[in-house]
Amino acid sequence: MSADPHLSVVMSVFNGADLLYKTIECVVNQSYRDFEFIIINDGSTDNSLDILQKCADQDNRIIILDQHNQGLTSSLITGCERAKGKYIARQDVGDYSFPTRLEKQVNCFQSHPNLVAVFCQFQVVDENGVVISQHQPETDDIKSVLDYSDGDIAAPSHHGSAMFSKTAYFQAGGYRQEFRFAQDLDLWVRMKTLGDIKVIDEILYQALLSSNTISGMHHRAQKKYHNIIIESARVRSHNGDEQPILRQASAIKPSTNKFILNADKSSTLYFMGSCLLLKQPQLGKAYLRKALAKNPLNLKAWYKLLNAPKG
């Protein structure tokens, strides 16, 4: 690794031992080589730290930061503050970056000097690697999806597929502690005022989805953050005081109510089953049954299952 790597890859792990080797492998084997790989062990209680240390012994680009459990946002803040690269790339445990992902994103930055962030198209896969869905921008005007004027915003692509300018990151204020979830969307909305955002027209990332991931478990909390991000952007546009809104974000806590958690998990399983029904009917129906096992009152899952193709 060079003294000052061009790129810093930042990843946080909490009890991800079963997925760590494969995730680390896909990063260290990238065609682009000039990077440091900062991995924050966020208070794991499994053998994640042991695995990280073994991997670091084999590749000096891997830098391990060990801390008490603080959550994803705090971990990312720590990792980005430690980053030496001109650019920062994200990676999530359990996800897969295609071999040329980093190379193509760095090249995109070098070809477009006004860029502050570059993403790529991505696939959502289940725990067995089955493709659930594929995502690409609906418009070439990527910044428009971050326009809150109509009361709705969306991230340009998956958080784990992002690469962004470190200078722009700090200029925008970085990830904010107040956002336990949706910290990326809050960041992109602030960064879009600083330059261009692009999504590479190629699938270079696969994101793992299960009912136990953050996306699968906390729909309600993420929706609350989503609304706060919109309101916060409106206040900033009028040079107002964001602090009362940020206090609302700080007050949001992940639900521990079993019924609510199961309902959110059921919604995720319903989504997975619905996506698979046409191309893999048996697997799609299996996910719908799992959705109903988590929440028997999921009427959409009942409807899909009862009207699913026979056989």
Which percentage of the chain shows pLDDT scores above 70?
97
Average pLDDT (110-126) is: 96
Distance CA 237, CA 235 (A): 5
Distance CA 293, CA 168 (A): 45
| Contact of 26 with 104, CB cutoff 8 Å | no
Amino acid at 220: R
Would you place residue 41 in the very low, low, confident or very high pLDDT band (cuts 50, 70, 90)?
very high
Residue 87 has a pLDDT of 98
Q: If DSSP codes are grouped into helix, strand and coil, which group holds residue 257?
A: coil
User: Is pLDDT at 293 greater than 70 in this prediction?
Assistant: yes
The domain at 7-217 falls in which architecture? Alpha-Beta Complex (3.90)
What pLDDT, in 10s, does the model give residues 56-106? 999 999 999 999 999 999 999 999 999 999 999 999 999 999 999 999 999
| Contact of 184 with 155, CB cutoff 8 Å | yes
Backbone angles phi, psi at 15, to 5 degrees: 50, 50
Which percentage of the chain shows pLDDT scores above 90?
85
Distance CA 141, CA 69 (A): 38
Parse the chain into domains and list their residue ranges. Answer: 7-217, 219-306
Strand partners, 165: 87
Average pLDDT (172-201) is: 96
Residue 93 has a pLDDT of 97
What's the chain's Rg over C-alpha atoms? 20
Average model confidence (pLDDT) across the chain: 94
Residue 217 has a pLDDT of 67
